Amino acid sequence: MLISKFRINQFTLIFLVALFNSKAQNPLVIPPLLSGTSFSLTIQSGTKNFYAGYNTPTYGVNGTWLGPTLELNKKDSVTMNVTNSLNTSTTIHWHGLHVAPENDGGPHQIIAAGATWSPKFKVRNEAGTFWYHPHGQGKTDLHVSKGIAGLIIIRDSMEATINLPRTYGVDDIPLIVQSKAFDVLRQIAIATEDDTAMFVNGTLNPQVSLPAQVIRFRILNGSSMRSYSFGFTGSLPFKMIAGDGGLLDTALTLTQLRLAPGERAEVLLNLTGMNGQTIYFRNFGSLLPNGIYGAAAVGVGSAVIPGYNLNPRNGADYDILKINIIAQNGSPVTTMPATLTVNNPWLTSSAIANRRIEFNTLVAGDSTQMAEGPFLMGGKAFDMDTINIRTQLNNVEIWKLVNRTLIAHPFHMHNIQFYVLDINGVPPAAIEKGKKDVILLMPGDSLRFITKFEDFANDTLGYMYHCHLLHHEDDGMMGQFVVMNAPVGIKQFDETQTVVIYPNPAQGKLNIVAKEQGKLKVSVYNTLGELIFKSASNEKKLTINTEEWPKGLYTLMLIQNLKTSFKKIIIE
């Protein structure tokens, strides 16, 4: 679905610059914290008065603007009762959580107007910062922009052993950063390039008082399009302790941290000895490389985003949150830990490396689409009824992503966390070495990550992967994958070195070439373990016609010279 665009012109620009320069300070709202194992979330509508004399229609959860923070404990079984009081359908997705597809809250788990959806799931993620937001097909940007979003904090016994600030709202501070666009009537607008209003936890021009001790910030970039290079006044150093999926191995000392839409980070800032001072949490937007939405420029020549250059936030440095430093409280944390946890990425030697997803335009090479879209993922626009990728339970897989457009896209995948292996052949920077569920690809980037599909299999119900620029997602830059049940009676995957099989995935034809002489016997089983093909050859090469086979995963059994090996193949 394409949404018609509201463009910046000289008239609206005067109004936009006025918003940009507005300096009145409002106390930072700390969203209420809900804890336990049963949560009641009601999605509602209302109005806010962000601008004097104007009513702005909004949405919220248990209120009319944003939603509460949910505190979950790893291993707890939780029930979410989500009631939709809007007069339109929506969904609530648990971004970053490892849950079964029916509990994921993607576009398939529609909550009709007036209905209640009650997923129950066990908390399996490690301690970290996650979030929830709507995911209705073609509606994500509108529903998020109008105010539906909230943080999820997961605690676990490992994280509890580290001396970290964890008093919510006192020294453990949520920062949900969102840029939003308003039209001339101060209605929230989407799919525009004039997102000049900057909110933290739903507060415009916010300020907060924080004690002179170590403060933990849980930063979520909840913006629809904009990336930031976050930092503090005077490039004060801080420590990054966690990324999307939880703690890093060691705390990283940084002065700026880039976060794309959907990404989270936990950082520690030591305010000890600074009682009475005022600092700012800022965006160093001038440091963003061109090509990222939020940088000085996106695209080149005729391949640019119309109106982009008129937004004064693009490529600019500015304050986001004023911090007034006050006296220490009773139980301050005053030191910062160096080592945190041990992440164990899966071994590439155990992985199947056969996925490749290209980001491209609808009309190949169309220069006007190269920076603005609409974009495709894997050569196709999203279709609710199409499963784009079939994987199998307990597969370890390497996925390759290639960005063939002129704008950076944050790739996000449901269900799993992944580890980035390399970007353009080079290992990722330290900040991107932990568990991730969103990763930004610059124009031209080719990136590989490794992941494992554990615990949940469902041969038909898909999980999403998509660009987390919400306008791109709504336009169809999304696909779905299913995790299929493991074949019955077929043991552990064993990568054979004596036979080469190609292409894999196969379309119509599969070639099997043995490296040694000797009779080659081949049997193919489907995911139910049923024998669907059998052949033998005295030649070193065997070509199988797979045209009639249903798309999906198969296991090939090869016997040659009394050696048996198995190989997973995909038929597309």
Q: Give residues in contact with ligand C2O (CB under 6 A).
A: 93, 95, 133, 135, 262, 412, 414, 464, 466, 468
The minimum distance between CB 415 and ligand C2O, in angstroms, equals 10
Phi then psi for residue 434, to 5 deg, are: -80, -170
Q: Give, in order, the Cα–Cα distances in Å from 516 to each of 519, 538, 566.
A: 9, 11, 17
Q: Which does 262 bind (CB under 5 to 8 A by kind): ligand C2O, Cu ion, none?
A: ligand C2O
Taking CB within 5 to 8 Å according to partner kind, which of Cu ion, ligand C2O, none is near residue 466? ligand C2O
In whole angstroms, how close is the CB of 96 to ligand C2O at the nearest point?
8
CA atoms within 13 A on the CB side of 244: 33
Give me 448's structure tokens. 């590989």
**Smallest separation (angstroms) from ligand C2O to the CB of 466:** 6
Closer residue to ligand C2O, CB minimum distance, 133 or 143: 133
Report how far residue 136's alpha carbon sits from residue 60's, in angstroms, rounded to the nearest whole number. Answer: 15
Question: Position of tokens 């798309």?
Answer: 551
With residue 326 as reference, give the H or E element that holds it. strand 317-326
Q: How far is the CB of 408 from ligand C2O (least distance, A)?
A: 17
CA–CA gap between residue 445 and residue 403 (Å, rounded): 5
Amino acid residing at 160: A
Q: Which among 224, 229, 230, 227 is positioned nearest to 294, based on CA atoms? A: 227
Token readout for 138 is: 């073609």
CA nearest to 570, candidates 399, 414, 392, 413: 392
436 binds, among ligand C2O, Cu ion, none (CB under 5 to 8 A by kind): none
Nearer to Cu ion, 130 or 232 (CB): 130
Rounded to the nearest whole angstrom, what is the least distance from the CB of residue 472 to ligand C2O in the complex?
Answer: 12
Q: Minimum CB separation from ligand C2O for residue 463, in Å?
A: 9
Minimum CB distance to ligand C2O smaller for 152 or for 371:
152
CB 154 within 8 A of CB 177: no
409 binds, among ligand C2O, Cu ion, none (CB under 5 to 8 A by kind): Cu ion
What phi and psi values does residue 245 have, to the nearest 5 degrees? Answer: -100, 5
Question: What's the closest the beta carbon of residue 399 comes to ligand C2O, in angstroms?
Answer: 16
Asked if residue 465 lies in contact with residue 355, where contact means CB atoms within 8 angstroms, the answer is no
Q: What b-and-e string marks burial along 340-379, b requiring 16 or more CB atoms within 10 Å of the CB?
A: bbebebeeeeebbebbebebbbeeeeeeebbbbbbbbbbe
CB of 412 to ligand C2O, least distance (A): 5
Nearer to ligand C2O, 409 or 468 (CB): 468
Nearer to Cu ion, 60 or 261 (CB): 261
Among Cu ion, ligand C2O, none, what does residue 133 contact (CB within 5–8 Å per kind)?
Answer: ligand C2O
> Considering CB distances under 5 to 8 angstroms, the limit depending on partner class, which of Cu ion, ligand C2O, none binds residue 135?
ligand C2O
The partner in contact with residue 467, picked from ligand C2O, Cu ion, none with C-beta cut-offs of 5 to 8 angstroms by kind, is Cu ion
Complex with ligand C2O: residue 418 or 549, whichever CB lies closer: 418
Cα–Cα dist 257/53, whole Å: 37
How far apart, in Å, are the Cα atoms of 358 and each of 207, 268, 443, 477? 42, 36, 11, 11
Residues within the interface to Cu ion (CB under 5 A): 95, 409, 414, 467, 469, 472
Q: Considering CB distances under 5 to 8 angstroms, the limit depending on partner class, which of ligand C2O, Cu ion, none binds residue 80?
A: none
Q: What is the DSSP string of 29-96?
A: P-PPEEESSEEEEEEEEEEE-SSTT--EEEEEESSSSB-PEEEEETT-EEEEEEEE-SSS-B--EEET
Nearer to Cu ion (CB atom), residue 310 or residue 467: 467
Name the binder of 469 from ligand C2O, Cu ion, none, CB < 5-8 A by kind. Answer: Cu ion
Residue 471, binding choice from ligand C2O, Cu ion, none, Cβ under 5 to 8 Å by partner class: none
Question: Is beta strand 278-284 parallel, antiparallel or unpaired with respect to 228-232?
Answer: antiparallel
Query: Would you say 411 or 525 has its CB closer to Cu ion?
Result: 411
Residue with tokens 């590439």: 348
| Beta carbon nearer to ligand C2O, 186 or 435 | 435
CB closer to Cu ion, 16 vs 416: 416
Measure the CA–CA gap between 266 and 283, rounded to whole angstroms: 16
Of all residues in the shown chain, the one whose CB is closest to ligand C2O is: 95
- Cβ proximity to Cu ion: between 95 and 143 the closer is 95
Q: How far is the CB of 45 from ligand C2O (least distance, A)?
A: 21
Q: At its nearest, how many Å lie between ligand C2O and the CB of residue 267?
A: 21
Helix (H) or strand (E) holding 557, with range, is strand 552-560
CB of 257 to ligand C2O, least distance (A): 19
Selection from Cu ion, ligand C2O, none that 180 binds (CB < 5 to 8 A by kind) is none
Dist. CA 31–CA 531, nearest whole Å: 56
Whose tokens are 């702005």? That residue is 56
- What is the smallest separation between the CB atom of 397 and ligand C2O, expressed in angstroms? 19
Q: Hey, what are 456's tokens?
A: 């949940």
Residue type, 115: A
User: Given the complex with ligand C2O, which of 226 and 412 has the nearer CB atom?
Assistant: 412
Please name the residue that has the structure tokens 């001038």. 286
Identify which of residues 384 and 562 has a Cβ nearer to Cu ion in the complex: 384
The listed partner (Cu ion, ligand C2O, none) that binds 320, CB under 5 to 8 Å by sort, is none
The item of Cu ion, ligand C2O, none sharing an interface with residue 433, based on CB under 5 to 8 Å by kind, is none
Please, which residue, 328 or 368, has the CB nearer to Cu ion?
368
Give me the least distance between CB of 93 and Cu ion, in Å please: 5
Residue 503 preceded by cis peptide, ω within 30: yes
Q: Are 434 and 245 in contact (CB under 8 A)?
A: yes
Q: Minimum CB separation from ligand C2O for residue 341, in Å?
A: 24
E-assigned strand segments in 212-256 = 214-221, 228-232, 238-243, 246-254
Spatial distance between the Cα atoms of 248 and 428, rounded to a whole number of angstroms: 14
The listed partner (Cu ion, ligand C2O, none) that binds 74, CB under 5 to 8 Å by sort, is none
